[in-house]
Structure formats: structure tokens, C-alpha cells
Amino acid sequence: MTSGAETEAVAAEPTPPQRVLPTAVVALLVAVLCALAAALALWSLHRMLEPPAAVDALLVALAVVALLPLVPAVRAFGDDRRRARHLAAGRLAPARHQAASGREHAHTAMGYALAVLICAGLVWFTTANDGAITTTFLRWEFLRSSFANVLDAFWINVEVAVGAQLLVLVVGLVVAVMRLLPGRAGRPLRWLAIAYVDTFRAIPSIITLYLVGFGLKLAQVPVFKDLSPVWLAIIALTLTYSSYVAEVYRAGIESIHPSQWAAARSLGLSYGMTLRTVIVPQAVRRIVPPLLNDFIGLQKDTALIGVMGVTDAFAQSRLTASNVFNLTPVIVVAVLFVLITIPQARYVDRLLAKEQTRTGRS
């Protein structure tokens, strides 16, 4: 019979790290299969393009890049062997380190291999049906001939986006403050603010644009009947996005701790002064990232203003595409929107990271 001390010693013995070999084998198989898929996709691209020697060299370089996931997969096997040697020598800590390193290499190989597979799938998609996708969406001659006209029309989209964003900042804040008015005196304004937000968040942007663009002209509404279609588009997008931004403002204001209100009111500040000098500045700092997200959506919705008869970038691209029976001009518009949206998206990510760091320190 074993004593209690021996039993505790056996129970306390540390377990050895698990083998890396099964994971390494799976990683190697995945890397090989994805590399083969990439090679087939590149060969399909080569047959479609019949490229010169320089492009052939580029395709070969891409094929070599597709083989790179094999490197960490092979390293995982080496880590497994080193783990076994350390374990045989009784060095448990180095064995665990090698096992963790092997699993990391295997997972890295699978991650990069799957990325290669996705890229190969995209290449295969563009070359399918004898390159019909490429000839329909990416004809260089149509891209070059339409770029100047589409770019000129794109400035209308930028003008509408900037004008609407400036108005949305003001109207959204006014609606948010109306919805937060306290007491019975503010109840009618709160109801109006709620009705406005619920209504314009429910109506699609394109319907608002259509009603404002044509309805105000047909009704001969004073002042509005003399406005240009661009200004009517700005007003329509302001009506729609002010409802969203008002909720962002409201969430930011309500996120401020009640002690801030109490401290400001105890110092003799009125409700309006407390809101203007204490609460809103703090709230604005918190809502910048979601506010920029709404503005990204707004600038994308400027592609809908063609329904009002405005010749923006999308309307211009459709006219050109109908003349050449090709969709490459529409791809130009898509690329322009991507070029102005991605920097803003990365800026939003940066602001979110800074806010998280700041709140974590506090």
C-alpha cells in the first residue's frame, strides 16, 4: 500500500506537454493543398492573359509566395523533435516552450495557407468563363477614357457629403438636446424629437431623396423651390442622418456620470450652461468614433442622389457604361469611394484604440 505522502507526490507530478506532430501534419497538408490551388489559379490566369516575359516572372514570384506557408509548417516538425529531446532529458520547461512554439508555427502555417486559398479563389473567379469577369469589369481602355469625367462628377458627391455632415452635426445635437429636456415643460419637445428620430430612421434614404428632390419642387414650397438639386440632396441627407446622429449624441450625453451634472448645478450653473460647458464637451469626445462611422455611411449614400436628377459620379458612370456596354466606369466610382473611405475607417480604429487606452489608464 502507498502512503499518503507518496500519493500526494504522484498527484502533484506535472503532466508533459502534448505532441505537436498531429497539428504539424494537418498544417503541412493544408499548406500543400492551398499552394496547389494557388498554382492552378495562376496557371489559369497565365492562359487567359498570354502575358509577356515580365508578367510571367511576376506570376512565378506569386507562386513562390504561395509556398511560404510551408516554412512555418516545416518548423513545427522541428519544434516537435526538440520537444521530445527535452522531455527525454527531463527538462519540462523547455519542452513546454518548444510545444507552444510548434503549435504557434502550425497555426501560422494554416492561417497563411487559408489566406493564399482565398486569394487563389479570387483569381480563379476573375478568370472563370474565359475571363468574362475581367472583360466585363476591368477593361483598361474604358477605365482610362471614363476616369476624367467620373472624377469630375465625384466632386459633387464630396460637396454633398461635406455640406450634409456640417448640417448634421448641428441638427443632430439640437434634436438630442430636445429629447433630453427635463420636466413637463420639455415633454412636447421630447415627443417631437422622438417622432422625428423614429420617422427618419425608418424611411430609406433613397425615398427621402426622391420626396425632397421632386416633392418640394412640385409643391412650390417657398425658398426650397429655388434651391439647386445639390442643395436639396444635402437637405435630404441631413434629414435622414440627423436622426442617427441625434441618437449618437444622446448616448454620449447619457454616458456622462450624474455626478458631473450635480457638481455643475451645485456651482450655480443653469441647465443650459451645464449642458454647454460641462456635459457636451465630454460627450463629444466619446462619440467621435461612432460619429465618423455614420459620416462614412452618409458619404456612401451620396451615390443615391442620382435619383434626384443630379449627375454625380454614379450617374455619370452609368451613362458611360450604357454607351460602351461595359461596367468598368462603375468600378471607377467604387474605387474612388474606397480611396476616401479606408483612411477614415483606419482613423476611426485609431481613435477607438486611443479611447480604450485612455479609459484603461483611468
Domain that holds residue 155: 142-359
Are residues 159 and 60 both part of a single domain?
no
- Residue 155's contacts (CB-CB under 8 Å, 6 or more residues apart) are none
Does residue 22 sit within a domain? yes
Q: Are residues 92 and 164 in the same domain?
A: no
Is 204 in a helix, a strand, or coil? coil
Indicate the range of 102-106, 139-143, 154-158 predicted with least confidence: 139-143
pLDDT > 70: percent of the chain: 94
Residue 256 phi, psi (nearest 5): -75, 135
* Three cell numbers written together for 252: 454620449
pLDDT of residue 135: 80
**113 pLDDT more than 80:** yes
Average per-residue pLDDT in the chain? 86
345: number of Cβ within 10 Å: 13
The band of 88, judged by pLDDT with boundaries at 50, 70 and 90, is: confident
141: pLDDT strictly greater than 80: yes
Instruction: State how far the alpha carbon of 317 is from the alpha carbons of 5, 150, 154, in Å.
Output: 83, 6, 10
Q: Per the structure, how many domains does the chain have?
A: 2
Nearest of 179, 176, 197 to residue 188 by alpha carbon: 179
- Are the beta carbons of 41 and 121 closer than 8 angstroms? yes
Place of cell 506557408: 69
Where among 135, 153, 184 does a domain terminate?
Answer: 135
What pLDDT score was predicted for residue 1? 47
Query: Whole-prediction pTM value?
Result: 0.77
Continuous segment of H or E residues that includes residue 232: helix 229-254
Asked if residue 178 and residue 58 are part of one domain, the reply reads no
**Nearest-10 crossing angle of helices 187-202, 229-254:** 120
Domain co-membership, 215 together with 340: yes
260 domain residue, yes or no: yes
Task: Identify whether 3 is part of a domain.
Answer: no
Which domain CATH number covers 327? 1.10.3720.10
Both 186 and 280 in a single domain? yes
DSSP structure class, residue 323: H
- Kindly state whether residues 131 and 155 are assigned to the same domain: no
Tell me how far apart the alpha carbons of residues 131 and 335 are, in angstroms, rounded to a whole number. 21
| Domain shared by 61 and 183, yes or no | no
Residues 287 and 214 in one domain: yes
pLDDT in tens, 289-342: 888 889 999 999 999 999 988 889 999 999 988 888 888 899 999 999 999 988
